[in-house]
Structure 1
């Protein structure tokens, strides 16, 4: 399983997508803009066990905010949305006001549509993201991608019902490993964030769940097979919330 992957952006995208469809029980292909979603859906919609969702990456919001109306329309026929969210890092501080506006519009639209699963980018902005989610009860299910907030923010998000998708790249720092040890095991699902996320300089493939389990095992003080079983069980519970058939 892979709950956050940019399948369409690998250099050999078609081959990687075909392999992911063959090897994974489920792959969530998040797109970075409404235009990207439209083109990717045309090319890759035939893939089984791959969910392609419309999104508007916060790093692109400043230049692509005009695509927001298109995204809100695309959401009508998609059971999930991503990648969306807010980036609070210094590089994107000037676009924070428009980022907030776009993200709140997405969450409000999700609420209006009866709920959607959202793959959410929250780097340096958990304190911006969570209040918007709280403001719109019934928005659906939040999956915080590559969560890097504080322990208290993680606890708040957990109490709100949020899930956390993490991959091998999150283990590269001491802080990342410490946070992973605190994330409740029952809400952690695997992701790769490939091809952006890398391990030893190599883009992570969408079938990296085994590697995530291997890295989790010493933190959870269990075997890699036990960690993998937990990730699979969690993933299937999340898929049930997303109304995604587990047998495809």
Structure 2
């Protein structure tokens, strides 16, 4: 399983997607803009066990905010949405006012639609993301992709019912390894975030769940098999929340 992957952006995307369809029980293909969602759905919509969802990446909001109405319309026929969120890092701080407006509109509309599962980018903006989610009870389910907040923010997110998706690239830094060890084991699901996420300079592949379990095991003080079983059980629970049927 892979709960956050940019299948459409790999080199040889069609072949990688078809391989993911063969290997994985489920792959969540998050898109970065509404236009990308439409194009990707046409090209890769036939691949089995791949869920393609509409999104508007916070890094692109400054130039693509005009596509927000299209995203809100796409959400009406989607059970899940992603990639959305906010990015408070230095490079994207100037667009934070627009990011807030876009993310607020997405979460608000998610509640209006009866709830959606959201794959959320929150780098440097976890507090703002959580405060926004709290404004709209009934928005659905939040999956915080590649979470990098503080232990206190992790605890707050957990109490709110958030999930956490992580992949092999998280373990490249000491901070990432320390944070992975503290993640609540009943809410962690695997992701690759490929092709952006890399391990040893190579894009992480969508079928990296086993590698994630291997890296998690020593941090969770369990066997690799136990870590894999936990990821699989968590994934099955989240899939039920998404209403997923392959």
TM-score of the superposition, structure 1-length normalised? 0.99
Q: Secondary structure at the match of 2:189?
A: strand
Query: 2:50 — aligned with what?
Result: 50
Give a deviation string over 1:2-49, Cα, whole Å, max 9, x none: 000000000110000000000001000000000000000011111111
Deviations 1:200-240 (A, max 9, x none): 00000000000000001111111111110100000000011
Paired residue for 1:221? 221
Aligned to 1:170: 170
**Aligned-residue offset at 1:159:** 0.1
The range that moved more, 104-113 or 41-50, is 41-50
The answer for unaligned runs of 5 or more in structure 2 is none
2:27 counterpart residue number: 27
Distance 1:39 1:169 in 2: 28
Aligned residue pairs, count: 246
Structure-2 separation of matches of 1:184 and 1:81: 23
Q: Secondary structure at the match of 1:81?
A: strand
Shift >2 Å, 4+ stretches: none
Structure 2 residue 151 is matched with structure 1 residue 146:
no
Whole-angstrom distance in 1 between the partners of 2:82 and 2:99: 14
Partner in structure 2 of residue 41 of structure 1:
41
Q: Secondary structure at the match of 1:123?
A: coil
Unaligned stretches of 5+ in structure 1? none
1:74-97 Cα offsets, whole Å, 9 max, x none, are: 000000000000000000010000
Q: Distance in 2 between matches of 1:96 and 1:220?
A: 36
The separation in 2 between residues aligned to 1:128 and 1:97, in whole angstroms, is: 12
Measured in 2, the distance between the counterparts of 1:132 and 1:126 equals 10
Q: Distance in 1 between matches of 2:134 and 2:48?
A: 34
Superposition map of 1:84-233 within 5 A: 84-233=84-233
Paired position in structure 1 for 2:18: 18
2:80: which partner in 1? 80
Query: What is the aligned partner in structure 1 of residue 4 from structure 2?
Result: 4
1:125-165 Cα shifts (integer Å, max 9, x gaps): 00110011000000000000000000000000000000000
Distance, in Å, in 1 between the alignment partners of 2:240 and 2:191 is 17
- SS at 1:244 equivalent: coil
Query: In structure 2, what is the equivalent of residue 69 of structure 1?
Result: 69
1:226, 1:155 → 2: CA distance?
23
CA distance in 1 between partners of 2:96 and 2:231 (Å): 34
Tell me how far apart the structure 2 counterparts of residues 22 and 212 of structure 1 sit (CA, whole Å): 19
